[in-house]
């Protein structure tokens, strides 16, 4: 199984400041045939299902604010919230779809400082 | 707008079989661009992929659950279902159904639509 490890487990950021969440995979999720990273990011607010934010490591889902961005390649990835808003308080998960079983990171809780 | 809705009993006794159904509305389940999957989340914990199914009926399961899980699909009703046998307290979780954008074989994809989830408690 590909193990996804996120860091930190939680972080507190002031409103308007940058929040950075890291995700590391135990093996590369870059597929050489299409040069794509098989990695997605989700946001889960309290009591709600996860919501897709980013796929192919850096492609923003339709309707997702542009303050959310994804970067990285191979085994190391980052989700950045450029200017934290109150509505961004949530747990963020990365997920790899390079291999089965599909696996998720343990989650990073983002709060307002 | 695509919507997914889970339905099920809420409470199951240990050693019994858990059965859940996901009803899809606002779109057809018979698309060659998607898988349909089940993901669960124990209270206060992270997300676990259970398995995926293609509209043709091809299924793909997590190895950790494969011996106890059956996923089926009914294209006429636009529904797919999950059965987990011999449940224990460790199967207590919120169960989500989701649409997975097909990105490869063996049920691989990312989830672009999710149901609201249903809490399944295993207790006597």
pLDDT in tens, A55-89: 999 999 999 999 999 999 999 999 999 999 999 99
Residue B11 CA to residue A13 CA, distance in Å, equals 39
Using a CB-CB cut-off of 8 Å, the residues of chain A touching B63 are 1, 101
Q: Which two tokens stand for residue B98?
A: 């989701």
Q: Can you give the pLDDT at residue A15?
A: 98
Strand intervals (E) in chain A: 4-7, 10-13, 19-25, 30-31, 36-37, 39-44, 51-55, 59-60, 68-73, 76-81, 90-96, 103-104, 108-112
Mean pLDDT over A91-111 rounds to 98
Subunit contact B110:A98, Cβ cutoff 8 A: no
Residue A70 CA to residue A63 CA, distance in Å, equals 15
Residue A112 exposed, middle or buried by CB count within 10 Å (0-12, 13-18, 19+):
middle
Using a CB-CB cut-off of 8 Å, the residues of chain B touching A100 are 60, 62, 106-108
Q: Can you give the pLDDT at residue A100?
A: 95
Q: Which two tokens stand for residue A111?
A: 């709060």
Using a CB-CB cut-off of 8 Å, the residues of chain A touching B111 are 40, 42, 50, 52, 95
Subunit contact A95:B47, Cβ cutoff 8 A: yes
Residue B14 CA to residue A35 CA, distance in Å, equals 46
Q: Can you give the pLDDT at residue B88?
A: 97
Q: Can you give the pLDDT at residue A106?
A: 98
Please name the member of B52, B110, B116 whose beta carbon is closest to the beta carbon of A40. B110
Please name the member of A42, A49, A101 whose beta carbon is closest to the beta carbon of B62. A101
Subunit contact A97:B104, Cβ cutoff 8 A: yes
Q: Can you give the pLDDT at residue B86?
A: 98
Residues of chain B with pLDDT under 70: none
């Amino acid at each position: 199984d590909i193990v996804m490890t996120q860091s930190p487990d939680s972080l507190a950021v002031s409103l308007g400041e940058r929040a950075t969440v890291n995700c590391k995979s135990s093996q590369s999720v870059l597929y050489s045939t299409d040069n794509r990273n098989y990695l997605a990011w989700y946001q889960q607010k309290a009591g709600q299902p996860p919501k897709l934010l980013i796929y192919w490591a850096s492609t923003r889902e339709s309707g997702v604010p542009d303050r959310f961005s994804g970067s990285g390649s191979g085994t190391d990835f980052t989700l950045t919230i450029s200017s934290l808003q109150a509505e961004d308080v949530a747990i963020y998960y990365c997920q790899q779809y390079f291999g089965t079983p599909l696996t998720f990171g343990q989650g990073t809780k983002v709060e307002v400082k | 707008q695509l919507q997914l809705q889970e339905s099920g009993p809420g409470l199951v006794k240990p050693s019994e079989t858990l059965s859940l159904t996901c009803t899809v509305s606002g779109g057809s389940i018979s698309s060659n661009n998607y898988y349909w999957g089940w993901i669960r989340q124990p209270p206060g914990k992270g997300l676990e992929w259970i398995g995926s199914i293609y509209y043709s009926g091809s299924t793909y399961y997590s190895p950790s659950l494969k011996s106890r899980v059956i996923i089926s699909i009914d294209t006429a009703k636009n529904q797919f279902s999950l059965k987990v046998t011999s449940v224990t307290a460790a199967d207590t979780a919120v169960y989500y159904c989701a649409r997975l954008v097909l990105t490869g074989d063996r049920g691989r994809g990312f989830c672009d639509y999710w149901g609201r989830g249903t809490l399944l408690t295993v207790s006597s």
